[in-house]
Amino acid sequence: MSMTVVQAGILSLLQDSGRYGHHRLGLSNGGPLDALAFHYCNRLLQNPAHATTIEISVGGLQLAAQVDTYICLAGAPMPLTINGEERGLWEVHRVRSTDSIRIGIARSGCRSYLGVADGFLVEPSFGSTATVVREHIGGLRGERLRNGDVLPCGAVTARKHFYLAEPDRPRYQNTLTVRVVPGYQQRHFSRVQQRRFFGSTYLVSERSDRMGYRLQGPGISCALEGILSEGICSGAIQIPPDGQPIVLLNDRQTIGGYPKIGAALSLDTARLSQLRPGHSVHFAPITPHTAHKALRLAQRFALQRPLRERPATGRPADGRPA
Amino acid sequence: MLYLGQAVTAETSAGVRAAVAAAEAALGEDLVDLVPSYASLLILYDPLRTDHLSVARRMRGALHNPRHRHVEVAQPGRTVVLPVYYAAEAGADLESLAARAGLPVQEVIALHTGTEYRVHAIGFAPGFAYLGEVDERIAAPRLATPRARVPRGSVAIAERQTAVYPADSPGGWNLIGRCPVPLFDRDAQSRSAEPCMPIAVGDSVRFEAIDRARFLALGGDLS
């Protein structure tokens, strides 16, 4: 039982919640760039929190179902149709064998997560199915999805038709304030440089990818040219010699020798990854204490926000197709 | 981030190893991952279970605990010997590196095999170990234009560091030979509990020159 990739789209990757505990081998984390949308995708489907989904960047994925199951698309608003009929994001839909699932190009934002009941059943590699193309690890063959790929998944006959109410859904915009915990190399950036960093607008560069988002704007200089290579955390903001900041993301290399001005809050790297080239970013400094509080609050909110349920058949109260 | 020193010395290297053991003992389930490097240890913890103050307090306690301070004595890093076929057909830059150094090729090989290297860090790619320090007579700057494909097993030099490329990848180091032993086996964990890498940060590595026949017999690939 499976789904077949008819069109792989711009960039579609199998991702579970990521690969942890293997940095000492040089393995990166991988996993969903937008952990919140990924979380809702699995939560709506009543899946384990780490179940394997497809991260769709920009859009264009088409699948053919060879199984009766349920799907959910969560994230950037990419038009979803099942057998040509328009369906909503952030909600569970029944699909049957021979159904055609098509996902169009995102109207805003950049990444969406297509989940299936119980997740795609792919063999994990180092404890995770997360695809890291640079390392040739995870997913199928360690590569992006290709036309004709077969994605195993189970037949599921009972799932609640959960959906996330409209006001609770994340919105994807063109500008973003990224909260930054200043880092241990902050003192090597003068006060003027720090003021410039936190006071300027940066634009997302074309050369942004799952390793990192490169930004363009006023250059930041650092008293250090390079440092002894050291571990890099997710969200670390490197300042290479050209002064243009790079926010490092899930597929980053585990060590590096550029100085770092701080680290972006994980909640905000998720939102950053929804920006496209040309969109704008501001940075705002926060303390580690505030960062922990923000994370705990967001976690509670994401886990406890109530899901609503549609009747299994017929149409819901607001008249949109179930 | 924990700094164990400012420079790359045997002492900081031992300090990094001791800190890894201390973090594992002190942080338990709160620990997400560790990234040991030349003179530092990045500690990644679960921010929903603990915070930076608690991690710092527990690490301070563990590092001052004599049991962990002497871990480097109790568990010395291993010494791993890696065979290398040094030849122009296995390392495209061997002859140019020798010419640049003003030494015969045999002397370059003798200097490369004559040093015991320490594993300073693993990164860049899965299983890529940074080894130091190379004798300064055969140190060489990175290539001006990196190669799009460096073959798997290539043994290379950049400045005073040396490494074995664990997989085909782009790279800008000077290639001097090839090692037939897999440095990173991505399927090891599915077969058994055997480690997927023969070396870890803090271990020592020596290279041993082998001939073409031995290289091929050990499963080496010259493509």
pLDDT single digits (tens) B90-126: 999 999 999 999 999 999 999 999 999 999 999 888 9
Domain-embedded: residue A293: no
| DSSP string computed for A84-153 | TEEE-SSBEEEE-TT-EEEE-B-SSSSEEEEEETT------BTTB---BGGGTBSTBTTB---TT-EEE-
Task: Say whether residue B201 is in contact with chain A using an 8 A CB cutoff.
Answer: yes
Instruction: Give the number of beta-carbon pairs within 8 Å between A and B.
Output: 101
A162 class by beta-carbon count within 10 Å (0-12 exposed, 13-18 middle, 19+ buried): buried
Q: Measured between alpha carbons, how far is A248 from A12 in angstroms, rounded to an integer? A: 20
For residues A93 and A223, membership in a common domain is answered with no
> Could you read off the pLDDT of A261-298 as tens digits, one per residue?
999 999 999 999 999 999 999 999 999 999 999 999 99
Are A179 and A163 part of one and the same domain? no
For residues A148 and A186, membership in a common domain is answered with no
Instruction: Tell whether A83 is covered by a domain.
Output: yes
Q: What is the pLDDT of residue A315?
A: 47
Are residues A36 and A63 located together in one domain of the fold?
yes
Give the residue from chain A lying closest to B197, CA to CA: A25
Residue A272 CA, distance from chain mean position: 9
Question: Among A228, A255, A295, whose Cβ lies nearest the Cβ of B35?
Answer: A255
pLDDT at A314: 47
**What is chain B's percent helix, strand, coil content, to nearest 5?**
30, 25, 40
So what's the architecture of B79-217 in CATH?
A: Beta Barrel (2.40)
Residues A164 and A210 grouped into a single domain: no
Any CB–CB contact under 8 A between B48 and chain A?
Answer: yes
Say if B165 is an interface residue toward chain A (CB within 8 Å).
no
CB atoms B36 and A24 under 8 Å: yes
Residue A297 lies in a domain: no
- Residue A295 falls inside a structural domain: no
pLDDT reading at B194 higher than 60 = no
Number of domains in chain A: 2
**DSSP states along A42-54:** HHHTT--TT--EE
- Residue of chain B minimizing CA distance to A18: B32
* Nearest-neighbour CA in chain B from A136: distance (Å): 9
User: Could you tell me the strand order of the sheet in which B2-3 lies?
Assistant: B2-3, B40-45, B31-36
Q: Are residues A8 and A117 in the same domain?
A: yes
For residue A268, CA distances in Å to A219, A263, B114 come to: 22, 10, 50
Residue A204 resides in a domain: yes
Contact between chains at A26 and B32 (C-beta distance less than 8 A): no
| Among B9, B51, B53, B118, the residue to mutate for chain A (most A Cβ within 10 A) | B51
Position A270: which residue type?
A: A
Same domain, A150 and A188: no
CATH topology of domain B2-74: Gyrase A; domain 2 (3.30.1360)
Is-contact A76 A274, C-beta < 8 A? yes
Per-residue pLDDT of A19-46, as tens digits, reads 999 999 999 999 999 999 999 999 999 9
Question: Does A127 lie in the same domain as A73?
Answer: yes
What's the domain range around A126? 2-169+306-310
Mean pLDDT along residues B36-51: 94
B124 and A25: CB-CB below 8 Å?
A: no
